[in-house]
Structure 1
Amino acid sequence: MAGEIPDLEAQERTGTGKGAARQARRDGMVPGIVFGGDKEPLPINIPFNKLLTMLRKGRFKSTLFNMKVEGHEDVRVICRDVQRHVVKDLPTHVDFLRLRRTTKINLFINVEVSGEEECPGLKAGGVLTLVRPEVELVVTAADIPESITVDISGLEIGDSATIANVKLPAGAKPTIDRDFVIAQISAPSGLASQSDDEDEDVAADEVPTTEMDPPNGEQADD
């Protein structure tokens, strides 16, 4: 995925059970657990304010993190569940899964565009619209791409590039089964308005002649 994998700092939580979890919340922390990866589960605490900020940014459950816990090796994790207060809707517990190199996960991958200088549609004054700046893919934890590239070098005005036109990394596939548009070249707004006006003029010229107004100056039969 584009950029570096973000760090997520946590503290090892001493003690388990409801008592330790309640104490963590009183201390301004959110209790959690890191499990999987052929290792023992690790109880953790995460600062409440930092976690809430990340949750509000969105896509927390589809973001890969580099978890840093003092006294333990850094490990790649992905969120598997966030429990919330039934009334306040604030996080009360969070679960993270350690990732093996072969683990399949869903992540949003940034889209980059190539071929803009050669694109005939842009040369003719068209406008590029990146319909999907990110695409959700199923990827292998060991082979997470920084981005995927869509080539628009052959697009004319009115053409679109879909996910079928993108060469995906080995082992990656979209989470959406159908083909979908990633980028398109549209006519400039001025040209589009002119085209609409011309369509209206043509429609006006094609109004059919009524029986009360026959063609060629002929009189209608009584």
Structure 2
Amino acid sequence: MKRPGPVLTLLAGLLLAAFMLSLNATTGVRNTASSGPRTPAAAPPSSAPPEGPTGSANPADRPVSRSPSPSVPPSTKPVPNADYAGRTDDDSSAVAVSLRDGRAIAYFCDGHDKESWLKGAVRADGTLRLTGKNGARLDGTLRDGGPIRGTVRLGGQRYAFTADKAVKPSGLYRATATVRGARVDGGWIVLPGGRQVGILDRDGEPSTAPVIDPRTGTVTVDGQELTAHPVTP
């Protein structure tokens, strides 16, 4: 009896080869599948806030629109025909202003040797721009029936003042005459409360003016009686 050794060995080899071929085919399919293209993972959402219309991500960096500050409106009331008198802020001088029909005349006086007569127009908003000799100037504002607040520039100096509405006999007075051959020109400011500030000019020489009677306007100059009249434009 012959031994089946070679036949069995051949069959075993064929089975082993078939098994190996089957194993390689399975492994190849798996490797091909695993090595295929991958779907990229979605990027995480950004936490930065979106930019606004101005292109700035931070609202604090965006320009802020502001409404313009309302301007102070001019006076809507008509400029009254009235008289005003007051003192400078340094209390060195007095100022009187008379308003009539859109015109103004003013008098600045320190009661010793410094004075100026000024005149000009009054604007509808109560603004005054008055001028006098030697470059003298008064700038003032009257609003809604209140006092006149302004400045007088005279002799290189600037005087701020406030002039309240004057009730007779307060106000501005002037007398012009010839006394003992001299040309006399006097100006008086009667302040609220009765105090008087004035200068009497004799042929170009100023001095403190004598006191007038504000009820009648009478004043005595070098023994001669004169009458000082209220001043209006």
| TM-score under structure 1 length normalisation | 0.22
Query: Based on CA coordinates, which of the two structures has the bigger radius of gyration?
Result: 2
Structure with a larger share of its residues in strand: 2
- Whichever structure has more helix as a proportion of its residues is 1
Q: TM-score, structure 2 length as denominator?
A: 0.21
